[in-house]
């Protein structure tokens, strides 16, 4: 994660580009997302998280009767566990670009 924070404080929002179709149709390949590391982790939030040695963009699910997990919006991708729990979530997506316009994702 250090490479993402090299030019800003660890709690400052940063931008990344969406790669792939796992979060379509809401987030298209090539869209730019803004991630806020200090935003609350809530059920249904779109998050940037670690999955083993890799980083991943998915929707956070926090069922009352089980551990939190990550899910893709595209049904072709499986749900993924969060072995480290919410500590694996590195930030919440708060905005995205879509055809040169910003769309607010989280209040």
CATH number of domain containing 70 = 2.10.109.10
**Residue 61 contacts residue 71 (beta carbons within 8 Å):** yes
- Is 16 among the domain residues? yes
- Both tokens of 74, joined, read 């595209």
- Is 33 among the domain residues? yes
**Selection from 82, 91, 106 nearest residue 9 by Cα:** 91
The predicted model scores a pTM of: 0.82
Q: Give residue-wise pLDDT tens across range 3-47.
A: 544 555 678 999 999 999 999 999 999 999 999 999 999 999 999
Q: Range of 75's domain?
A: 2-100
- Is 107 among the domain residues? no
**Contacts (Cβ under 8 Å, ≥6 apart) of 36:** 13, 91, 92, 94, 106
Kindly list the distances between the CA atom of residue 48 and the CA atoms of 13, 65, in Å, as whole numbers in the listed order: 12, 23
- Is 12 among the domain residues? yes
Q: How many domains, in total, are found in the chain? A: 1
């Amino acid at each position: 994660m250090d490479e993402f924070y090299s030019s800003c404080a660890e709690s400052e929002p940063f931008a990344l580009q969406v790669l792939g179709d796992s979060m379509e149709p809401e987030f298209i390949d090539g869209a730019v997302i803004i991630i806020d590391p200090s935003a609350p982790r809530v059920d249904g939030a779109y998050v940037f998280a670690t999955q083993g040695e890799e980083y991943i963009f998915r929707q956070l699910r926090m069922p009352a009767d089980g551990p939190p997990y990550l899910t893709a919006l595209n049904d072709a991708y499986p749900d993924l566990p969060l072995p480290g729990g919410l500590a694996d979530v590195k930030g919440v997506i708060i905005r995205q670009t879509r055809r040169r316009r910003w769309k607010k994702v989280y209040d």
